[in-house]
Amino acid sequence: MRLTRLLFATAALLAFTSAVVANDTSLFRAPNMDSITMGDVKGDVYFLASDEMKGRETLRAESDITAQYVRNRFERAGVEPAGEDGGWWQNVKLKYREWQGKPGIRFERDGQTVELKYEEDFVSTGGAETSVKLDAAEIAFVGYAINDPERGYDDISGANLSGKIALMLRYEPSAWRQGGRRNPFSRHSYLQTKEALCRAAGAVAILMVTGPESLGGSDNDRQLPSPEAAEKSPPLSLDLPEGERGDASLPFFHISVSACDELLGGEGETGRVQRAFDSADLAARPDLSALRLNLAAESREVHDTCRNVAGMIRGELDEWIIFGAHHDHLGYGYFGSRDRERMGEIHNGADDNASGVATVLEIAEAMAESGVKPRRSFLFLTFTGEEKGLLGSRWYVRHPLVPHDKVYAMINIDMIGRIENKTIGLQGTQCSKLIDRHCRDVAPLFPQLKVQFSDRPPPAASDHWPFYSEAGIPVFFPFGGVNQWMHTAGDDPETINYDDMLPVIKMLYEIGWRLSEEQQYADCTGPVKEAIGPDGKLRDPLVKPASDPDEEHEEEFSRE
């Protein structure tokens, strides 16, 4: 009995101590921490993710309203403008293409002409920075269009693509996707990674199929993107000055399994070839040398502008810590939705990423209203166009508002509102030993959270990536994990876990403030992920590929 009472008393003492640690603000260095309240967080999320904001899609009126809301919140808190010409905005120039009529694809086999029907057999996935007309073009099968020396897998080098159309499988070999991870795709699944290899090999256009063995063997003709997507939510790209442009995108079309079977010579051929390439049996590459394909797609280029929002709090030093979050989402889900049955309904994006914007606003407000001058300066950014391929952050890194060599760290906040089992992952801290140390020092101050760290480089699927990969800036990325509502019409404010989101916001504020006080400089000492460059070779750093709608954060933390 005495032992039982002793154990009970010890447990009670530990629980009491944890409660004291969680609420004793004397342990925090960040000023005005108590001003960050659940009511304020809810107010931001409920406004940004309301139906009236119509999903905050880039280039829509609601995206401008979102930017104006962020600007007003900054201004009211006493944050200074940090944008262009002394204002709040950084204008991001974008472009897209509108089809003039429907694209056409036809080919001849054994003297017979086969015509593929647009919207039924194939759709455009973008690319084609100019109109294209190919007559009697040769076609070559390139497998998954992967060259990975580490795995000893190369299914593209043996393909002669000069002047030809590349026919490829989407994603990557199924054997790579074992191990129980729910979102296992590597950088080799990125469409732009594949395109870069094909372009470097001389291809003039790409046809891509989602093979029947992919995504659990589902009916993959249903995986053909909705033809409404390109019309109502066209793929966007940065409208860069002449000297900053990379290679022009290739014409890129997504074809159905049945259409691919026609190209390969019979029903079931796509599955047979995919299974062979999944097992690295590259000798099964089909010979398409007898095929000649006609492809015509006429389009015009449209130019437009959207906005990043920038505010700052000046410190004693001209060195900067950046807090960033993207303020856009999917609109009605025509591009990027995982919920095809509800495509056309508003995708509110409460977790993705009203939660991140609310975090930036709350930290900026608490800091500004404290009246305490930080040692290092803080830049607060909200980005446009993340869902369209990290457009706002990629533009910023090419047109920085403060010099890159004066940026101490970038903290990107994306999807921290739907925490399960009180678990929050801090990804990318290993890119700087100092950042990692401060994160690990602060985490125990929030015992109500289970903070998990990764020893891997930061994933490439959010706005920290251009800062890290292109500018070599140390970053880290708090992430609540992939969940059932992500990129669906169910990502609503009512489903946010505000009880656990609030301490995460305070933890990030404390980490940022401690980084501001740090005497040593946080060099980017960790490994920078190798990636495919425009020449098709492994190189470093990576210009982040445009997002594939079915690809999100590359690493998911366990919920156990």
Who contacts 395 (Cβ-Cβ below 8 Å, separation ≥6)? 90, 92, 93, 238, 308, 385
553: pLDDT strictly greater than 60: no
Quickly count: other Cβ atoms within 10 Å of residue 304's Cβ.
13
Tokens of 474: 């140390």
Q: Name the residue among 424, 471, 544, 541 with its Cα closest to residue 322.
A: 471
Alpha-carbon distance of 251 to 249, in angstroms, equals 7
Taking CA atoms, 463 is separated from 169, 396, 411, 530, 531, in Å, by 28, 10, 9, 18, 17
Structure confidence at residue 247 as a pLDDT band (50, 70, 90): low
3-state secondary structure of 410: strand
Q: What is the pTM of this model?
A: 0.81
Q: What is the pLDDT of residues 311-350, one digit of tens each?
A: 999 999 999 999 999 999 999 998 888 887 888 899 999 9
HSE, CB side, 13 Å, CA atoms: give it for residue 457: 21
Determine the pLDDT at residue 126: 62
Quickly count: other Cβ atoms within 10 Å of residue 276's Cβ.
16
Q: Name the residue among 161, 156, 269 with its Cα closest to residue 209.
A: 269
Task: Report the relative pairing of strands 165-169 and 205-209 from DSSP bridges.
Answer: parallel
Tell me the range of 1-5, 70-74, 516-520 where mean pLDDT is highest: 70-74
140: pLDDT strictly greater than 60: yes
Alpha-carbon distance of 296 to 103, in angstroms, equals 6
> Residue ranges per domain, the chain?
43-96+303-519+530-539, 101-297
Alpha-carbon distance of 109 to 286, in angstroms, equals 14
Instruction: List own/partner pairs for 213-220 with CB under 8 A and 24 or more apart.
Output: 213/174, 213/271, 213/274, 213/275, 213/278, 214/169, 214/170, 214/171, 214/174, 214/274, 215/171, 220/256, 220/257
In degrees, rounded to 5, the angle at the alpha carbon of residue 45 between the alpha carbons of residues 71 and 484 is: 135
| Contact indicator for 325, 382 with CB cutoff of 8 Å | yes
Determine the pLDDT at residue 185: 57
Q: Is the dihedral of CA 35, 38, 39, 45 positive or negative?
A: positive
Note if the bond before 225 is cis, omega within 30 degrees.
no
Question: In this structure, which CATH number among 3.40.50.11750, 3.20.20.70, 3.40.630.10, 1.10.10.10 belongs to the domain 43-96+303-519+530-539?
Answer: 3.40.630.10
Q: What is the pLDDT of residues 111-127, one digit of tens each?
A: 788 999 988 899 877 65
Determine the pLDDT at residue 297: 85
Q: What is the CATH number of domain 101-297?
A: 3.50.30
| Contact indicator for 415, 480 with CB cutoff of 8 Å | yes
Q: Name the residue among 456, 555, 544, 532 with its Cα closest to residue 148.
A: 532
Determine the pLDDT at residue 14: 42
Give 363-394 as a DSSP string. Answer: HHHHHHHH-PPPSEEEEEEEES-GGGTSHHHH
Amino acid, res. 475 = V
Instruction: Please state which of the ranges 28-42, 257-271, 451-465 shows the lowest mean pLDDT.
Output: 451-465
556: pLDDT strictly greater than 80: no
- 469 Cα distance to chain centroid: 14
Q: Residue 497, exposed/middle/buried by CB under 10 A (0-12, 13-18, 19+)?
A: middle
Determine the pLDDT at residue 150: 79
Quickly count: other Cβ atoms within 10 Å of residue 248's Cβ.
11
Alpha-carbon distance of 71 to 339, in angstroms, equals 32
Q: What is the pLDDT of residues 18-61, one digit of tens each?
A: 444 444 667 899 999 999 999 999 999 999 999 999 999 999 99
Q: Name the residue among 413, 307, 358 with its Cα closest to residue 59.
A: 307
Q: What is the pLDDT of residues 293-321, one digit of tens each?
A: 999 988 888 999 999 999 999 999 999 99
Alpha-carbon distance of 346 to 343, in angstroms, equals 8
Who contacts 214 (Cβ-Cβ below 8 Å, separation ≥6)? 169, 170, 171, 174, 220, 223, 274
222: pLDDT strictly greater than 80: no
Quickly count: other Cβ atoms within 10 Å of residue 53's Cβ.
23
159: pLDDT strictly greater than 60: yes
Structure confidence at residue 552 as a pLDDT band (50, 70, 90): very low
Please, what is the average pLDDT of the chain?
84
Q: Name the residue among 370, 399, 35, 369 with its Cα closest to residue 381.
A: 399
**Rounded to the nearest 5°, which phi and psi values hold at 34?**
-70, -15
